[in-house]
């Protein structure tokens, strides 16, 4: 039996893209694979580290490799359980190796089309979680500790994080700034997080900025 690097099939872009393909197929027509691939591309291209570590072009290459490996092994039996299950589910009636090759090509085609604006292709739920993970995480903090006015909760969060503010506090303010730019208007991200309006995010940024100027300048 030819060896293959198991880690490529137990984590990383192959599983991410297969998840999107399965979600599209099992959505009953609500999601299209092309839209989901465009969102994946928008997410990777919009994050410097993600793009540097594994570009969409590299992801499609890993899918090609997965296709070759499955063909060489004559099926999915010798692969890690999660990959095996997802590849079989996504492929349906198709040969899994052929399906993975097709998925790689669809990803390359979508990558060549460029990145759609949010007004053209709305931010989806999974994309929101990956684009604004710190804002989502702060929502959990608010749910657990909602006994102060909003600015007081942000201040308490920043104080608790201090002096390691380069980690979560700076990232939280950065995501808030990004949200204000990408989703202008009073509602901003309110559809996803009730407090993430223009005013709420501005208050969050001001409170963290005050902490940074007081403690780190």
Q: Which chain residues interact with Zn ion by CB under 5 A?
A: 162, 165, 215
Closer residue to Zn ion in complex, CB, 112/162: 162
Nearest Cα residue to 196 out of 173, 170, 167? 173
Q: Shortest approach of Zn ion to residue 37 CB, angstroms?
A: 40
| DSSP at 117 | P
Closer residue to Zn ion in complex, CB, 135/208: 208
Answer whether 34's CB lies under 8 Å from 110's CB. yes
Closer residue to Zn ion in complex, CB, 30/214: 214
d(CA 155, CA 195): 15
Structure token digits, residue 204:
């969050």
Closer residue to Zn ion in complex, CB, 187/209: 209
Q: Shortest approach of Zn ion to residue 215 CB, angstroms?
A: 4
Q: Shortest approach of Zn ion to residue 157 CB, angstroms?
A: 11
The Cα diameter of the chain in Å comes to 63
Q: Shortest approach of Zn ion to residue 216 CB, angstroms?
A: 6
d(CA 67, CA 75): 10
Collapsing DSSP states into helix, strand and coil, what is residue 183?
Answer: coil
Closer residue to Zn ion in complex, CB, 134/190: 134
Closer residue to Zn ion in complex, CB, 118/164: 164
Q: Shortest approach of Zn ion to residue 175 CB, angstroms?
A: 17
d(CA 157, CA 179): 20
Contacts of 53 (CB under 8 A, 6+ apart): none
Q: Shortest approach of Zn ion to residue 165 CB, angstroms?
A: 3
Answer whether 96's CB lies under 8 Å from 104's CB. no
């Amino acid at each position: 039996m030819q060896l293959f690097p198991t880690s490529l099939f137990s984590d990383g872009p192959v599983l991410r893209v297969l998840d999107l393909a399965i979600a599209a197929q099992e959505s009953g027509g609500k999601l299209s694979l092309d839209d989901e691939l465009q969102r994946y591309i928008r997410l990777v291209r919009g994050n410097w580290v993600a793009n540097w570590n594994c570009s969409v072009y590299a992801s499609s290459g890993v899918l090609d490799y997965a296709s070759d490996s499955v063909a060489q092994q004559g099926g999915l039996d010798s692969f890690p359980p999660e990959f095996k299950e997802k590849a079989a589910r996504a492929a349906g009636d198709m040969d899994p190796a052929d399906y993975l090759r097709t998925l790689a090509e669809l990803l390359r085609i979508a990558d060549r089309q460029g990145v759609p604006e949010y007004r053209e292709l709305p931010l989806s739920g999974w994309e929101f979680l990956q684009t604004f993970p710190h804002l989502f995480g702060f929502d959990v903090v608010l749910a657990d500790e909602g006994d102060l006015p909003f600015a007081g909760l942000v201040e308490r969060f920043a104080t608790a994080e201090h002096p390691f503010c380069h980690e979560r506090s700076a990232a939280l303010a950065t995501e808030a700034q990004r949200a204000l730019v990408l989703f202008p208007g009073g509602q901003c991200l309110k559809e996803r997080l009730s407090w993430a309006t223009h005013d709420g995010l501005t208050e969050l940024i001001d409170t963290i900025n005050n902490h940074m100027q007081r403690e780190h300048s």
